[in-house]
């Protein structure tokens, strides 16, 4: 018997604010959280970013952690988001009889502290507590240790599709009866490593980015975290909790075309979207909205649009990118945007594609400019594409 994978809780933090309500209000009011750097120390202050508006000491205080506690920024963001998700799912006190798993996507890990304390690691032992936290798995373990009670903990590292793949893995664990409840998603903070790396690729925009616009010039980096609580409909019913949506289909397809670029024909994106829709038992015309990856780079937006046209033909559903609201949160993008897709479906609105002025010449469509959908939103396709051609798509549906 096929198990319905219910979402019973969701938590989010990003440049738009802390929590689902703050995120929803910013999206509906077309308010971007992308602005000048405030917390990251770097010489590259010319690039706007989607920075979470809390310092590390402020987040430690929010979480009742000692000021001298060794914790990296990504873990702080992840813990805040998970607390919101657990509260909604009525899991603040975890039942010992249920098997709980934690799957988290991240790529940069604790680099935000490692890059600052590198000389200390070489010269003395004063900052050694941060050495193991540089590892991606170390960040996941730090989050898991804050909550405790997980029978399975794992880390997914596939660049910008990491947290989408974490959600997919979480759904598989439930379907295969390896877990009863899975907290899945991802987190990522900004770092100099991050900023310098993308600057080297020459794909950072010095203004707020313009996804799917003819004159797009690159991405704005962002940070944040997003996690969902997944469980079967049977488990949710036994626990007496309400489902707020379901993961009805998903697919990962790697085109292996290039280390950083998408294939010109958008093959990987096409296969991921097609596979997710088929896995959900739907047809392309059933999709009511596409939350596009839409980074604002010349390569991504062109090829993603080509893939959409190849799959949907002349009837392309409303499509938009939210990267100009909160920046590209890299490893956290898949789960953050899955939660935003869930909010769109729940509240029946479409996020306007900010800063769009002119259609890309090769595209037959324009992104969303009107927040009011023509029909109720029942199925959303959320795209997340990572370096190396690691492309993922998730279909989120009303329960």
* In a shared domain, residues 234 and 163: yes
Q: Is the pLDDT of residue 388 over 70?
A: no
Total structural domains within the chain: 2
Please say which residue of 239, 258, 286 terminates a domain: 239
Please say which residue of 204, 239, 274 terminates a domain: 239
Please say which residue of 190, 207, 239 terminates a domain: 239
Quick one: pLDDT band at residue 261, thresholds 50, 70, 90? low
* In a shared domain, residues 40 and 80: yes
The chain-wide mean pLDDT, for the chain, equals 93
pLDDT digits (tens, 9 = 90+) for 197-223: 888 888 899 999 999 999 999 999 999
* In a shared domain, residues 191 and 222: yes
| CATH number for position 168 | 3.40.47.10
Q: Is 103 helix (H, G, I), strand (E, B) or coil?
A: strand
> According to the model, what pLDDT value does residue 258 have?
60
* In a shared domain, residues 61 and 86: yes
Euclidean distance between CA atoms 243 and 8, whole angstroms? 5
* In a shared domain, residues 160 and 292: no
Determine the structural domain holding residue 13 and report its residue range. Answer: 5-239
Closest CA to 13 of 187, 247, 243: 187
Q: Does the pTM of the predicted model rise above 0.75?
A: yes
> According to the model, what pLDDT value does residue 1 have?
54
* In a shared domain, residues 331 and 370: yes
* In a shared domain, residues 110 and 214: yes
Exposure class string for 119-130: b at 16+ Cβ within 10 A, else e: eeeeeeeebeeb
* In a shared domain, residues 343 and 382: yes
* In a shared domain, residues 197 and 90: yes
* In a shared domain, residues 205 and 255: no
pLDDT above 70: percentage of residues in the chain: 97
Contact yes or no for 247/167 (Cβ under 8 A): yes
Per-residue tokens: 98: 């249920």
* In a shared domain, residues 30 and 157: yes
Angle, CA of 25, 78 and 135, to the nearest 5°: 145
Burial class from Cβ neighbours inside 10 Å (0-12, 13-18, 19+) for residue 22 reads middle
pLDDT digits (tens, 9 = 90+) for 340-384: 999 999 999 999 999 999 999 999 999 999 999 989 999 999 999
Residues known to be catalytic: 160, 293, 328
Euclidean distance between CA atoms 277 and 272, whole angstroms? 9
Q: Is the pLDDT of residue 259 over 90?
A: no
């Amino acid at each position: 018997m096929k198990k319905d994978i219910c979402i019973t809780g969701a938590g989010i933090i990003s440049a738009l604010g802390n929590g689902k309500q703050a995120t929803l209000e910013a999206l509906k009011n077309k308010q971007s959280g992308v602005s000048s750097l405030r917390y990251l120390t770097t010489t590259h202050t010319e690039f706007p970013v989607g920075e979470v508006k809390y310092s590390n000491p402020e987040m430690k205080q929010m979480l009742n952690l000692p000021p001298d506690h060794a914790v990296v920024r990504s873990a702080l963001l992840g813990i805040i988001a998970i607390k919101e998700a657990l509260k909604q799912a009525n899991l603040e006190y975890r039942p010992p009889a249920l098997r709980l798993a934690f799957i988290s996507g991240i790529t940069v890990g604790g680099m935000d502290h490692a890059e600052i304390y590198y000389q200390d690691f070489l010269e003395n032992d004063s900052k050694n507590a941060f050495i193991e936290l540089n590892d991606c798995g170390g960040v996941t373990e730090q989050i898991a240790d804050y909550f405790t009670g997980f029978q399975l903990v794992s880390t997914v590292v596939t660049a910008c599709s990491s947290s989408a793949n974490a959600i997919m893995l979480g759904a598989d664990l439930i379907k295969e009866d390896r877990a009863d409840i899975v907290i899945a998603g991802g987190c990522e903070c900004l770092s100099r490593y991050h900023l310098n790396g993308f600057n080297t690729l020459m794909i950072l925009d010095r203004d707020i980015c313009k996804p799917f616009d003819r004159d797009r010039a690159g991405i704005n980096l962002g940070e944040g975290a997003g996690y969902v609580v997944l469980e079967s409909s049977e488990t949710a019913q036994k626990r007496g909790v309400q489902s707020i949506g379901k993961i009805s289909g998903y697919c990962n397809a790697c085109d292996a075309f290039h280390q950083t670029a998408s294939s010109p024909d958008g093959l990987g994106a096409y296969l991921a979207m097609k596979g997710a829709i088929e896995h959900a038992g739907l047809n392309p015309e059933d999709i009511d909205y596409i939350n596009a990856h839409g980074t604002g780079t010349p390569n991504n937006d062109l090829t993603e649009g080509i893939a959409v046209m190849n799959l949907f033909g002349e009837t392309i559903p409303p499509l938009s990118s939210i990267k100009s609201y909160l920046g590209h949160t890299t490893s956290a993008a898949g789960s953050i945007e899955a939660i935003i897709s869930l909010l769109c479906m729940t509240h029946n609105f479409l996020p306007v594609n900010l800063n769009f002025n002119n259609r890309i010449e090769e595209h037959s469509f324009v992104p969303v400019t009107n927040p009011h959908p023509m029909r109720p939103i029942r199925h959303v396709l959320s795209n997340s594409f990572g370096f190396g051609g690691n492309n993922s798509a998730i279909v989120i549906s009303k329960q």
